Structure 1
């Protein structure tokens, strides 16, 4: 007997089908690679550092080049921002508007003639406080009714606000021209008025003494031996000395008289040196440099300055913001009226200058001379 067996049809489906692996989010298979050696890692770090160093050096070169290019342009031309053009620096501050809106004539130095009398001053080596009124003239202020409040007010009116102090000086110890007056005394009811308006005339002082003011710690210097011809100096010993620079070049010396004002010579601003933005005042430096200078927002020449005779050769520069007073930056003391400087008195001149003829300017501050003959 024959039996017929029916075999299943041939199928292409595998007998052991594998399940499809669906990759999960956030999980990745890492390729099978050999780990990097320490030498390869060090080489890669070296390349990165070299690239960074190259970029820094290139940026430094570009910045330096841009700085010197700007200095060169600024020394020759003035940029008119409104009209977007350059004009020769000689055309600034010449009385003609070469820029739109007269930009080239706005930021220029000015002159001022004395047409009124400033009503407060110090007189003689005793620094006696005096006040002025048109009817009575100058009067020494008695110590009668004087308080610390008036000391602060008088020093502020004189332009000083640091360490104001006052003392009483007997009238009979003053110079002969001050012993006989006239005098003035404080009116206690006029506490809110300026010092010169808060006084009343007196024939003599009830206390027998007048007020002497010391309004700042100006003028403190270190002791040094000095010789004619110049010796090295450090800024800590002469902290009011500043360098006036135009276009990054030292042009003149000056002296701080307050945290915001510098006194210098009027002849420093001759020719094309009248435009304010060109000037910087570098303070607190023994060795000359151009970095860190203060901007200037006003230059005032004495209106009576005569270039031909150098009469009234004095000017003031106002800094855009006050400097910080410290060891290397401190105002010089202005001499009081009738200071009485004796002939052949010992004096010191400081600044960056020449030790002899036909040499370049030295970079360290000097004491060029020690006495006036």
Structure 2
């Protein structure tokens, strides 16, 4: 824009503009000189377009450290690095040693059992099956079981390849606890060891050699054709199957009757989102047995389930949160179409407290054969008839097998 050089240049400041300071002015024509003298700007008000310089702070003045301080800092860092390196090396060495020990000392991974004489890995199903899979036959030397409804303690003889009952002569509770532990039971659940007269006559027994000294229980046992007391050992490793219900109660074949507390202390209600889905039975404080069809599909996740024990009425579950489930294991050969092998296990996150109203049921022992027309008891919160509503009160009924 052409302006008279004798006039001072005119600038517009759009930054700081206090009220009533500027005098309004008309736009200036490019070829006309302004009609008014330039306005007066107070000294505090800039009358130029400010330029914003880039701020650059002066670098801080670094005071030189004395040589001793530098040396100290350097030595501390060096020491820390050395300590950290040594710790990492030691951790790696310890981890490697543990892994080497684990794979060397436990060459049979998974559920296999190692033969002590040969190092051969043998499946648990091959132990005590009457066939020697270890070179020294140790897989058939420590075989013990509870047989029949009377829980008769029997020991397998690898020589004669037969099972024999243990004679009660010189037997005591300590031997009973050892036998239960060998079968995988927790010694804290041990119940009793007593002598009973067997229902069928035995011609051979396993007897204790009391003069054998303080050696392994099974090395004290030897085969004998006589048992002075005539009684064999009945061993109960858990306090299971004890109900206040009479063994032969008066009841109906169908329909059932309302139960009372302690009739069926192993009965539990398995629920999803507050609804009763299936029943189950306590077999240990941590484990529940139920049907595999109850936990198939989307219900196979333990997250959905709550287990209620020690209850009589379904309405009681409203006042408790139940027990959470940690793991569900269905029978590997369960068939959802035919319902073959329809059994599953639930492991609880927290063990149940065993009481008069919360107690395990007994699992069937080998030799327990159910005869035709034998009466059995069924308990649960089922319906009285097909398609009927679920009972609120626990029901027990007798049926014919």
TM over 0.5: yes
The residue number in structure 1 matching 2:268 is 242
Structure 1 163/225 Cα, relative in aligned 2: closer, same or farther at 3 Å? farther
Paired residue for 1:115, among 103, 125, 128? Answer: 125
Q: Please list, as runs of the form range in 1=range in 2, the aligned pairs for 1:322-341 lying within 5 A after superposition.
A: 322-341=351-370
Task: Kindly indicate which of the two structures has a greater share of residues assigned to strand.
Answer: 1
Q: Secondary structure at the match of 1:343?
A: coil
CA distance in 2 between partners of 1:372 and 1:354 (Å): 18
Check if 1:221 corresponds to 2:231: no
1:138 and 2:163 equivalent?
yes
- Displacement of 1:198 after TM fit? 4.9
Report the counterpart of residue 286 of structure 2 in structure 1. Answer: 260
Contact 1:257 1:334 in 2 (8 A): yes
Aligned-residue RMSD, C-alpha: 3.1
- Tell me if the contact between 2:209 and 2:222 (Cα under 8 Å) persists in the aligned partners: no
Q: 1:175 to 1:358 in 2, by over 3 A?
A: same
Would you say the 8 A contact 2:190–2:239 is kept in 1? Answer: yes
Q: Does 1:124 align with 2:148?
A: yes
Distance in 1 between residues matched to 2:341 and 2:164, nearest whole Å: 27
CA distance in 2, matches of 1:247, 1:198: 54
Aligned to 1:180: 203
Go from structure 1 to structure 2 and tell me whether the alpha carbon gap of 1:186 and 1:318 turns closer, same or farther (over 3 Å shift): farther
TM-score with structure 1 length normalisation? 0.59
Q: Distance in 2 between matches of 1:312 and 1:190?
A: 46
- CA drift of 1:256 comes to 0.9
Aligned to 2:299: 273
Does 1:212 pair with 2:234?
A: yes
SS of the residue 2:393 aligns to: coil
1:1-373 alignment runs, 5 A limit: 115-117=125-127, 119-132=143-156, 136-156=161-181, 157=183, 159=185, 161-162=188-189, 164-170=191-197, 173-175=198-200, 179-181=202-204, 183-186=205-208, 197-198=218-219, 200-207=221-228, 208-218=230-240, 219-223=242-246, 225-227=250-252, 228-288=254-314, 289=317, 291-367=320-396, 369-372=397-400
Alpha-carbon separation, structure 1, partners of 2:330 and 2:157: 26
| TM superposition score normalised by structure 2 | 0.55
* CA distance, structure 2, for counterparts of residue 344 and residue 246 of structure 1: 36
8 Å contact from structure 1 (residues 191, 198) kept in 2:
no
The alpha-carbon deviation at position 137 of structure 1 amounts to 4.9
Please list every run of 5 or more consecutive structure 2 residues that lacks an aligned counterpart in the other structure: 1-122, 129-142
In 2 relative to 1, CA 259–318 (structure 1 residues): closer, same or farther, beyond 3 Å? same
Q: 3-state SS of the aligned residue for 2:299?
A: coil
Instruction: Describe the superposition over 1:16-60 as per-residue Cα deviations: whole angstroms up to 9, x where unpaired.
Output: xxxxxxxxxxxxxxxxxxxxxxxxxxxxxxxxxxxxxxxxxxxxx
**SS of residue paired to 1:321:** coil
CA distance in 1 between partners of 2:292 and 2:126 (Å): 21
The secondary structure found in structure 2 opposite 1:154 is helix
Report the alpha carbon displacement of residue 322 of structure 1 after superposing the two structures with TM.
Answer: 1.5
Give distance in 2, aligned partners of 1:366 and 1:238.
9
Aligned CA distance change for structure 1 residues 199 and 137 (closer, same or farther; 3 Å): farther
Q: CA, structure 1 residues 283+151, in 2 after alignment: closer, same or farther (shift >3 Å)?
A: same
- CA 1:186–1:317 in 2, change beyond 3 Å: closer, same or farther? farther
**1:265, 1:314 within 8 Å by CA — same for their partners in 2?**
yes
Distance 1:371 1:281 in 2: 26
| Counterparts of 1:191 and 1:363, CA distance in 2 | 57
Unaligned regions of 5+ residues in structure 1, if any?
1-112
- Check 1:321–1:187 CA distance in 2 against 1; reply closer, same or farther (3 A cut): farther
**Contact residue 156 and residue 163 of structure 2 kept, 8 A:** yes
Q: Which has the higher contact order (CA 8 A, sep 6+)?
A: 1
2:150 counterpart SS class? coil
Q: Does the C-alpha gap of structure 1 residues 337 and 186 become closer, same or farther in structure 2, counting only changes over 3 Å?
A: same
Q: Would you say how many aligned residue pairs link Structure 1 and Structure 2?
A: 255
Q: Is the 8 A contact 2:192 2:235 kept in 1?
A: yes
Q: Which whole-Å CA distance do the structure 2 matches of 1:236 and 1:266 have between them?
A: 26
* 1:114 positional shift: 7.1
Tell me how far 1:201 sits from its aligned partner: 4.1
